[in-house]
């Protein structure tokens, strides 16, 4: 599961990395939580675009937008079988820019948060799905997204049995292509990240409070001897 992430990369850099013509003004985020509005990259009229969407997918057929808070993640292996995701995984795939995500490891009664990120802190393209929900009462449109997960690699397995699907830049065009509806090809892209550029950093337990969103949350912390280490 991926329930919190970071995105401190500037809008200008995101536009360059993901090759989109529009540049957003973005505030650095150090503790992104479900229902927050965050940038995603998608295809519109054959061109990559970037828009803000609410984290937590609201299916187009939902009666209420509140269901989105329960749909922040989707299992890549079975998303095409689930009513909430089966249309989006065929027609509305996106990239979710993140430069780190958090997971917690339990040690007795305590839960220690760790941040997964690239050693060079560069942004990652996470596989996602997006939807447009129209309020049946007032006609208001809500854009929302979910993050796809897969089996963990050796590093991620030390804290959780799932990890976000990280896509190589060479796979972005194929992933975003709305004409690619062959689910076997889609799922072939949703593999554990096998590159050795990820590092894991123990961070402050203040991350657990969604109201906290400040730069020092990503600073490494010293663990107590009894907490041990992931490595």
| Interval 67-76 mean pLDDT | 95
For the stretch 196-231, pLDDT in tens is: 899 999 999 999 999 999 999 999 999 876 555 665
Contact predicate 79/148, CB 8 Å: yes
List the structure tokens of 207: 């991350």
For the stretch 131-176, pLDDT in tens is: 999 998 888 899 999 999 999 999 999 999 999 999 999 999 999 9
Between strands 47-55 and 73-75, the pairing is: unpaired
Cα 153-4-76 angle, rounded to 5 deg = 45
Closest C-alpha to 103, from 93, 117, 122, 116: 116
Long-range contacts of the stretch 28-32 (C-beta < 8 A, 24+): 28/215, 29/213, 30/6, 30/213, 30/214, 30/215, 30/217, 30/218, 31/4, 31/6, 31/102, 31/207, 31/210, 31/212, 31/213, 31/214, 31/217, 32/4, 32/5, 32/6, 32/7, 32/98
106, pLDDT greater than 90: no
Task: Write down the pLDDT at residue 229.
Answer: 60
Task: Write down the pLDDT at residue 230.
Answer: 60
**What is the set of domains in the chain, with CATH numbers?**
5-221 (3.90.1680.10)
Determine which one of 94, 103, 131, 190 is catalytic: 103
Q: Is 140 a catalytic residue?
A: no
For the stretch 1-47, pLDDT in tens is: 789 999 999 999 999 999 999 889 999 999 999 999 999 999 999 99
Q: Is 2 a catalytic residue?
A: yes
Cα 16 to the chain's mean position, in Å?
19
């Amino acid at each position: 599961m991926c329930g919190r992430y970071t995105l401190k990369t500037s809008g200008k850099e995101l536009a360059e990395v993901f090759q989109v013509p529009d540049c957003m003004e973005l505030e650095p985020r150090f503790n992104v939580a479900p229902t927050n509005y965050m940038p995603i990259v998608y295809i519109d009229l054959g061109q990559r675009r970037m828009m803000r969407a609410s984290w937590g997918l609201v299916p187009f057929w939902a009666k209420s937008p509140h269901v989105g808070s329960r749909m922040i993640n989707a299992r890549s292996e079975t998303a095409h079988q689930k009513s909430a995701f089966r249309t989006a995984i065929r027609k509305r795939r996106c990239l979710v820019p993140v430069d780190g995500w958090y997971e917690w490891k339990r040690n007795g009664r305590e839960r220690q948060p760790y941040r997964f990120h690239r050693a060079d802190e560069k942004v990652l393209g996470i596989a996602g799905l997006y939807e447009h929900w129209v309020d049946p009462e007032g006609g208001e449109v809500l854009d929302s997204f979910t993050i796809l997960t897969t089996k963990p690699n050796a590093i991620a397995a030390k804290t959780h049995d799932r990890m976000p699907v990280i896509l190589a830049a060479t796979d972005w065009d194929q992933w975003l292509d709305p004409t690619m509806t062959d689910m076997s090809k889609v799922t072939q892209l949703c593999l554990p990240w096998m590159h050795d550029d990820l590092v894991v950093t123990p961070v402050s337990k203040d991350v657990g409070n969604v109201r906290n969103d400040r730069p020092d949350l990503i600073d490494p912390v010293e663990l107590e001897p009894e907490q041990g280490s992931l490595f």
